[in-house]
A and B are shown apart, each in its own frame.
Chain A
């Protein structure tokens, strides 16, 4: 259901506090969409390692590269995007080179507030508009999944076009900013998806992100993915038995070299985490007018392609 709704958009932007596993969720979402036959681009911003590693591919570069059938990955490095934009705007390579090589340009770009963000969003817009071929009306990508960086407010990337269009009403920068803003605010084309984990800080931030997105950006988030949920592994009777045994201080050997006491504290840890999962899930359901999809905590040896495939199946079933 979530997937159906998101697949009708062109752009899915994942936003949430750092450490909520946005990259993992992004990779799983992109994979799930690709397995439905969509041509998908997973765009990371200035983070060359994560998504590609999760998908078992070499680190993504600044050119979109297909890593699985129908699934491409790109790492949008703001400086590289800016260079590309300069080349595009100036056209004459020699002149562009002269500008790109100048230390003034480098310093300006490094310090001009908001310009890197604007460039990255502009590039995403260009990718959204890209066609499959020269004479094709079909888009190159059916869906672009953007893993927004967890900087500042979590929304600071998305705030830039609004700020820029106010600061610079005319000229290419303002024009550019307004077009990006229009894309972001268009609920037909763009879905903002919040990512959280069942923890106090992440839940607080998810609610704050929701409020700020609606009030400050005019964007209503589409869904919330609650990642790293601890799911039920014991029946109610077993849980009661665990509590009873723990309270009674039961001991003995569970298996070769494994004591029951250690098992019971592991089980109590699990029950506590499960309780927290339930608590924050209920709390977020009550406070946010959004569909919430849960993804399980991963106990894998290493978070890699098989983990992502499992999460993708969960998104498919959600």
Chain B
């Protein structure tokens, strides 16, 4: 596993940090995804790039990771001088405010003032845009396009919402495109759904059938609100669709990359593997897998054989041995799981040991970043990132 830490996985991460323009950091909740994203962003900044770390997690964890009370919806430059005097690069941080992004989108693209008001005042919109699951992913996509085009940044590191199914994020554009597909829209935009015209007789039998079913299942009021909502967006669809396609293209391109993050527990490793396979299926650029918080095996330490028997109270000695056996069992449990994954991802895996303390400041983030790139921290430094950059892309 030590080999993995400074091997292909680290080289692939370092190359991506040096060259790519977008890194999407994905994983299930609670695996240290936000910390990983922030640590990677910081590493790139310390190497001289202008980097934006963007979290879309409404729990605002990046703020905690960066030692800030609250991050606004606008990129904010962080002071790196305390960390490394004369740091060449810059690190910006922000959180994605779903509601504000949605509002801004409407402001920018609505066809007229009346349309803009109709949307912003629509009851459905007011709930949908902020409260409901799924809208975060849509908005992250929109924001990503905007940020990718922002010339202040060389690299955008995007943290993704914690999902049980980490793929939700990846599939949001496809879902959006499916939803905006003309046949679906045509159905919703049928005139009989338009406000006030609900009682009109329905022209076709199929139409009557569909309407009847929809009424029984969802209720006409729901559909009417929904169709009003969609009608209000009229004229914006083409733009939505185009942007969704552009995001898809952007994410598949050479300048983008996906970093998967997992913990050592079996459930999160299984999810990472599933996610990895889906990335491959969709021909998305995989950079590497980071497995965080891996426990050391105290019985596998390869120190020179000690001389002489330690003089110890027998109870304490027994307690210590039991503890070591327990910790070793956990380490072996984790290693089995990681080993299964390593083969599948062709060794592009980085193992980050459990840290002495929680990471919640830049210094801690730097240490994590150095571990991922195969040096620094409490571990012997193996290769400097600068050397790694010279080795070319890790794809």
Q: Which residue of the partner chain A has the closest CB to B310?
A: A252
**B160 shortest CB reach to chain A, Å:** 11
The answer to whether A154 touches B59 (Cβ under 8 A) is yes
The answer to whether B324 touches A208 (Cβ under 8 A) is no
The residue from A103, A200, A261 contacting B306, defined by CB atoms under 8 A apart:
A261
A243 sits at the interface (CB 8 A):
no
The residue from B181, B265, B320 contacting A267, defined by CB atoms under 8 A apart:
B320
The residue from A160, A166, A200, A265 contacting B360, defined by CB atoms under 8 A apart:
A200
- Give complex CA distance A240, B135 in Å: 54
**B370 shortest CB reach to chain A, Å:** 21
Give every chain A residue within 8 A of B163 (Cβ-Cβ): 149, 151-152
Give every chain B residue within 8 A of A159 (Cβ-Cβ): 131-132
B184 sits at the interface (CB 8 A):
yes
Q: Which residue of the partner chain A has the closest CB to B164?
A: A149
The answer to whether B30 touches A150 (Cβ under 8 A) is yes
Q: Which B residues contact A (CB, under 8 angstroms)?
A: 28-31, 34, 57-59, 61, 64, 123-124, 126-128, 131-136, 161-165, 168, 175-176, 178-179, 181, 183-184, 187, 209, 213, 216-222, 225-226, 263, 265-268, 270, 296, 298-299, 301, 303, 305-313, 315-317, 319-324, 326-327, 329-330, 332-333, 356-358, 360
The answer to whether A167 touches B128 (Cβ under 8 A) is yes
The 4 closest A-B pairs by CB, nearest first: A18-B29, A19-B30, A171-B219, A252-B310
The answer to whether A303 touches B266 (Cβ under 8 A) is yes
- Give complex CA distance A157, B179 in Å: 22
Report if A254-B321 is in contact (Cβ < 8 Å); known contacts: A238-B315, A301-B329: yes
Q: Which residue of the partner chain B has the closest CB to A164?
A: B127
Interface string of A94-135 (1 = CB under 8 A from B): 010011000110011011111001000000000000000000
> In the complex, which of the residues B124, B162, B220, B309 has the most CB atoms of chain A within 10 Å of its own CB atom?
B162
- Give complex CA distance A264, B306 in Å: 14
**A56 shortest CB reach to chain B, Å:** 15
The answer to whether B310 touches A260 (Cβ under 8 A) is yes
Q: Which A residues contact B (CB, under 8 angstroms)?
A: 17-20, 23, 45-47, 49-50, 85-86, 89-90, 95, 98-99, 103-104, 107-108, 110-114, 117, 149-154, 156-157, 159-160, 162-164, 166-175, 199-202, 204-205, 208, 233-234, 238, 241-242, 245, 250-255, 257-267, 269-270, 272, 276, 299-303
Give every chain B residue within 8 A of A152 (Cβ-Cβ): 57-58, 133, 136, 161-163
Give every chain B residue within 8 A of A50 (Cβ-Cβ): 267
> In the complex, which of the residues A103, A163, A263, A301 has the most CB atoms of chain B within 10 Å of its own CB atom?
A263
- Give complex CA distance A166, B127 in Å: 7
Q: Which residue of the partner chain A has the closest CB to B336?
A: A302
Give every chain B residue within 8 A of A253 (Cβ-Cβ): 305-310
Give every chain B residue within 8 A of A156 (Cβ-Cβ): 131-133
Q: Which residue of the partner chain B has the closest CB to A251?
A: B306
A sample of 24 inter-chain contacts (CB < 8 A) reads A20-B30, A46-B165, A99-B217, A104-B183, A117-B132, A150-B29, A151-B29, A167-B128, A168-B123, A168-B219, A168-B225, A171-B219, A201-B358, A204-B59, A205-B61, A234-B316, A253-B306, A253-B308, A258-B324, A259-B305, A262-B299, A299-B330, A302-B333, A303-B266
